[in-house]
Amino acid sequence: MFQKILIANRGEIAVRIIRACKQMGIETVAIYSEADQYSLHVQIADEAVCVGGNKSSESYLKMENIISAAISKGAEAIHPGFGFLSENARFADLCESVGIRFIGPSGSVIEKMGNKSKARELMIKANVPVVPGSEGALKNIVEAKKLTTKIGYPVLIKASAGGGGRGMRVAYTELEFDNAYETARSEAFNAFGDDTMYLEKYIINSKHIEFQIIADKYGNVVHLGERDCSIQRRNQKVIEEAPSLISEELRQKMGEIAIKASKSVNYVNAGTIEFLLTGDDFYFIEMNTRIQVEHPVTEMVTGIDIVKEQINIAGGEELSFTQEDIKLEGHSIEVRINAENPKENFRPSPGKVELLHVPSGHGVRFDSFLYTGYQIPPFYDSMMGKVIVHGKTREEAIKKMRATLDELIIEGVDNNRQFCMRILFNNEYYKGTFDTGFIPKHSGSLLGYDDYE
347 carries an active-site annotation: no
Contact status, residue 413 vs residue 351, Cβ threshold 8 Å: yes
Kind plus residue range of the DSSP H or E element containing 366: strand 364-368
Tally of residues, the chain: 453
| Catalytic pick among 227, 290, 394, 422 | 290
DSSP string over 424-435: HT-HHHHHT---
164: left (phi over 0), alpha (psi -120 to 50) or beta: left
CB within 8 A of 176, min separation 6: which ones? none
Which stretches within 279-416 are classed as H helix? 295-302, 306-314, 394-407
Contact status, residue 348 vs residue 382, Cβ threshold 8 Å: yes
CA distance 104 to 123: 20
Nearest to 388 by CA among 423, 361, 355: 361
- Letter for the amino acid at 335? V
Contact status, residue 259 vs residue 221, Cβ threshold 8 Å: yes
Residues noted as catalytic: 290
